[in-house]
Structure 1
Amino acid sequence: MTGHREPHLRSVASGPGSVVAYEQLAADLREAITSGRYATEERLPTEAELVATSGFSRQTVRRAFQELSNEGMIYRVRGRGTFVLPHDARYLRSFGNIPDLMSLAVDTELRVIEPLHVRADVSLTSLLGAGAESVMSMAFTRMHRGVPFCFTRVCLPLDVGARIKDQPEILRLTEPGAVSRTTIIALVEAASDDSIDSAQQTATACAADDDVARHLQCEIGIPTLRIDRRYLGISGRTLEYAINFFHPDRYEYRLQLRGKRN
């Protein structure tokens, strides 16, 4: 195709909480689409072209295309290629497992509202259970292309918070307004002796109060999507509790249910 452009392909990280190959490639393609490097109805590089230019395997490329297809960003025409679907300004992700949640860092930014600190608040300590009297808490907005689509408060047991508070990523987030491409749960996973084993989630509709409206830059009282996530270690202990409020016009949530595999 004339004027062929390749998305910027980053190397795949390794270690706890890292993003696997197809997720990284999907994120790079997603960013190329949302930033306008590929226009609506424009053809993307073929699987063979991406294999040749990226070094990823054909299976990895195919899986990345499948992820974007599931998200409604692209469509494929047999014998013709893969094309960009019309899209709006909403941030859309498909979540099927905990690594999917950790991979938010590849195409969004965290912007600090309240740096990580000790907080004695019975409404928060009760979320962690086991008679906790204080928690380590942090509040931030999640940004996509400079626009806030989620306001989040995370609560951590004191010992878990102590493990991450001196990590370089957290030390760069000690002032309101500081930004980073990270997720707190990935930092917890990397620092904890008790690996993340599972997550529990509840989703409800919730009217934006003064605090949520201010940080999401929306009107007070509009319906938001509240998603509470409890991350559990292998021991069954709560390692993080996150309360998220999503702007309905800037975010679309999809839960991908995967079939049973033997």
Structure 2
Amino acid sequence: MSPLPSGLLGELDPTSDRAVFRQIADHLREAIGRGRFSEGEKLPSEAELVEHYGVSRMTVRHSFSVLQGEGLVHAEHGKGVFVRPRPPVRRLASDRFARRHREEGKSAFLVEADAAGSHPQVDGLEVKEEKAGPDVSARLGGVRRVLVRRRRYLLDGRPVEFATSYLPLDIARGTQIAEPNPGPGGIYARLEELGHHLHHFEEEIRARMPSPDEVRTLRLASGVPVIHLTRTAFDTEGRAVEVCDTVMAADAYVLAYQLPAT
């Protein structure tokens, strides 16, 4: 077996109180961060790392488990351990809801997919009327019942986010918003056609670990967190016309913002 290239990975520090498997994980993490292993590239095999470090296979496996738990790598049975791709979608918050996109018949997700050069899909669509939960009701000004639109978004066949929109029934009932396909530009275009011209959005973002259902829905690898975003859309009269609750695979997105300095 050929030795690993000189300088590719560090050497163990026998004087360190840091566990050996964590030192190996540190070396691999640093090599990935420095681009010595590119996206999708296979890491050195267990046998190569055993020979390089003079440790057991179990120690190497513990090192790989650390990196998998951090979402940096993924294992393919019978093939090896590979560097996970970095986020492919740049979500530009200051532009994604620009009116010009709606006028072109594009929803925000379609705009992002085009920019990423990816093929967008929507599945798992559900449209129904429900009682509003306390948080949604408060955000929408005390409404009791809402039209709910649930859907999952995919890029190139990979699930990347799951979104649920809540809209007041007096706005959405009996309109194209209540149809499975709301038409070009999505529900925001339909809201504006109904006279609710959008003025601004408020978003709350937090990162957390996913629930078991979210892991299944988004097909998340071990250790990958989610971005949980709650957005409220307001019209020019100051009325909240939609609340959107979105859960995104954190390894699929970069959240980008442009903020004024004045």
Which TM-score bucket, shorter chain as reference? 0.5 to 0.7
- 3-state secondary structure, aligned to 1:160: helix
Tell me the TM-score normalised to structure 1 length.
0.54
- Whether contact under 8 Å (2:125, 2:180) holds in the other structure is no
Equivalent residue runs for 1:1-262 within 5 Å:
88=86, 90-97=88-95, 98-99=97-98, 102-108=107-113, 109=120, 111-123=122-134, 125-162=136-173, 164-165=175-176, 170-172=179-181, 183-189=186-192, 191-218=193-220, 222-258=224-260
Change (3 A) 1:95 1:211: same
CA distance in 2, matches of 1:132, 1:221: 38
- 3-state secondary structure, aligned to 1:119: strand
Change (3 A) 1:235 1:250: same
Residue equivalent to 1:16: none
CA distance in 1, matches of 2:222, 2:150: 19
Q: Which ranges in structure 1 are unaligned for 5 or more consecutive residues?
A: 1-86, 174-179
Q: Percent identity?
A: 18
- Whether contact under 8 Å (1:116, 1:138) holds in the other structure is yes
CA distance in 2, matches of 1:185, 1:166: 9
Following superposition, the deviation at residue 113 of structure 1 comes to 2.2
Change (3 A) 1:258 1:211: same
CA distance in 2, matches of 1:151, 1:241: 14
- Whether contact under 8 Å (2:227, 2:250) holds in the other structure is yes
CA distance in 2, matches of 1:110, 1:236: 33
Following superposition, the deviation at residue 224 of structure 1 comes to 0.9
Q: Larger C-alpha radius of gyration, 1 or 2?
A: 2
CA distance in 2, matches of 1:104, 1:166: 17
1:102-140 deviations in Å (ceiling 9; x for gaps): 443235435232422101142464244332111101111
- 3-state secondary structure, aligned to 2:245: strand
Q: Which ranges in structure 2 are unaligned for 5 or more consecutive residues?
A: 1-84, 114-119
Q: Which amino acid aligns with 1:93?
A: R
- Whether contact under 8 Å (1:120, 1:134) holds in the other structure is yes
| RMSD (CA atoms) | 3.0
- 3-state secondary structure, aligned to 1:203: strand
Tell me the TM-score normalised to structure 2 length.
0.54
- Whether contact under 8 Å (1:194, 1:233) holds in the other structure is yes
- 3-state secondary structure, aligned to 1:213: helix
Alignment size in residue pairs: 165
Q: Which amino acid aligns with 1:199?
A: F
- 3-state secondary structure, aligned to 2:207: strand
- Decide which moves more: 206-215 or 239-248: 206-215
